[in-house]
Structure 1
Amino acid sequence: MSKVTMTFPKGKHKVLTMSYDDGKSADRRLVKIFNNYGIKGTFHLNSGLLGEGDRIPADEISSLYHGHEVSAHTVTHPTIARSSKEQIIEEVMEDRKGLEEILDYSVRGLSYPNGSYNQLIKDMLPFMGGIEYARTVHSTGNFDLPDNFIEWHPTCHHNHNLMDLADTFSQLDKKQYLNMLYVWGHSYEFDHDQNWEVIEQFCEFIGNRSDIWYATNIDIVDYINAFRNLKFSANSHFVYNPSIISVWLNVEEEIVEVPGGKKVILHK
């Protein structure tokens, strides 16, 4: 049996994803920066608070976040580890419904409001009809892929060793590993801390690189799930991809694309 391993799209072995909460007005500047450097972000919004104070209004959501991902953050941003099961369900499901009325796609992710979650919530989320991942605020400082998407720990907050981590990430060249740099925060923090140069310098440094896959949170979830759903023959001579998206494999040091809905011979 020959060696077959997963790569990211087009044979890449590094992925960058960004995750920002609350949907406040500073997102406008942050999205512009991301767009300038080919970087993808996931923006976690509270549907019950849209347009309040300096939050982005509902009628701007689709256009502002076009090309990025909008994800759930609960309707009203409660500390859900202190909430009843009934309230947790309502906060998550009604947030999905409210956001989906605005968007033209299903909302399938969540960031825990106030970083609040517990084992009960982790157990409940997969049964809430559509929630496939949930981000914590516990930074790992490493570039590992998550073991559990319902408890997805980021690499770092943007104020914590961001450029050092970006420099290390940019130099990773061992293709036997898959590496992810996952940055989280709140865009309004750049206004509060008067340090927009932090994210601008980071994006200029790490963006538009040919060896990095720039992805939203759900892009990563969908891709890894598509790989896990591949149907290999027992001897790995061929594989069928039942998903609609392509998956790329390293087959004895050759990069092979397995298109959605296709069977591919891996070994002649």
Structure 2
Amino acid sequence: MIRLLYPGGKTKALTFSYDDGKIHDRRLVKLFNTHGLKATFHLNSGLLEHPGTISRQEAASLYDGHEVACHGVLHAFPSQLSNPALVREFLDDRIALEQCTGRFITGLSYAYGDHSPEVRAAAHAAGLLYARTVRSTGKFFPPADFLQWDPTCHHARALDEAALTDAFLEAPGDTYPMLYYIWGHSYEFERDHTWEQMESLCRRLAGRDDIWYVTNIDYYHYLQAARRLVYSAQGDRVYNPTGIKVWVCDNGLVRTV
């Protein structure tokens, strides 16, 4: 029996996702860096430089070690835009963010969590590989559809319900690759006076040998490679047609393919 694992033979993954590019991202990035956690920051390129928002110049350096992704040029409701305007909202955001960061920008979170089949098609047409919703599942399953990537929870729930994090940390992790996906906005910590609670949560989740700390896009690429593995009819052999090393447990032996 061959079972999928995460890099390093780990059985669990943790990723964070934060929207809007507010100045409070500075403190959050520092917090993540202190604890060795990884996150994706979704920016609105047309709103950078606005009061309370980071600048284009700062975006190039602030998120070093993390992922920068799209959130729409102007944070418009996607379903209220015409098809041409919708593609521009996504594609122009990609272009602007790639220009100011020098990175490939291929991720998205839907503004207001607003999406539909037409919106998802526009995201795909704009070259975006995944898109996060705001529909929390309370579960730790990998996404079935990366253009409808439902998170586990908003950080407010993770802060208020210790049992959810307990369930993730205490699970044996020997049945399926678990993913804990937490999202939110950094300004909410300032507004709700929950910075200390967030720091406590980060300490709980950090430094675990069984957890892969990963950005959204790195998780996407790994899982896509894993889903392309070719198994023998009896399930006792596996072939990897991709260039990404994938970890598996093969009858109790942890190895790569």
TM-score, L = length of structure 2: 0.94
Matched with 1:127 is 125
Q: What stretches of structure 1 move > 3 A for 4+ residues in a row? A: 230-238
Instruction: Indicate how the Cα distance of structure 1 residues 161 and 229 shifts in structure 2: closer, same or farther if over 3 A, else same.
Output: closer
Matched with 1:10 is 8
Number of residue pairs matched by the alignment: 254
Matched with 1:227 is 226
Cα distance between partner residues in 2 of 1:232 and 1:118: 34
Which residue of the other structure, out of 140, 148, 152, is the alignment partner of 1:151? 148
Matched with 2:176 is 177
Instruction: Indicate how the Cα distance of structure 1 residues 255 and 188 shifts in structure 2: closer, same or farther if over 3 A, else same.
Output: same
Matched with 1:95 is 93
Matched with 2:193 is 194
Unpaired runs of 5+ residues, structure 1, are 259-268
Matched with 2:242 is 242
- Identity across aligned pairs (percent)? 43
Cα distance between partner residues in 1 of 2:165 and 2:240: 36
Preserved CA contact (<8 Å) 1:10 1:257: no
Structure 2 counterpart SS, 1:138: coil
Matched with 2:166 is 167
Instruction: Indicate how the Cα distance of structure 1 residues 119 and 238 shifts in structure 2: closer, same or farther if over 3 A, else same.
Output: closer
Cα distance between partner residues in 2 of 1:178 and 1:21: 26
Cα distance between partner residues in 1 of 2:144 and 2:245: 22
The alignment status of 1:138 with 2:138, answered yes or no, reads no
Cα distance between partner residues in 2 of 1:248 and 1:241: 14
Cα distance between partner residues in 2 of 1:92 and 1:73: 8
Structure 2 counterpart SS, 1:101: helix
Quote how far apart the aligned CAs of 1:237 are: 3.8
Quote how far apart the aligned CAs of 1:232 are: 4.9
Cα distance between partner residues in 2 of 1:39 and 1:74: 25
Preserved CA contact (<8 Å) 2:4 2:176: no
The alignment yields a C-alpha RMSD, in angstroms, of 1.5
Cα distance between partner residues in 2 of 1:33 and 1:103: 21
Quote how far apart the aligned CAs of 1:213 are: 0.4
Preserved CA contact (<8 Å) 1:19 1:185: yes
Quote how far apart the aligned CAs of 1:184 are: 0.4
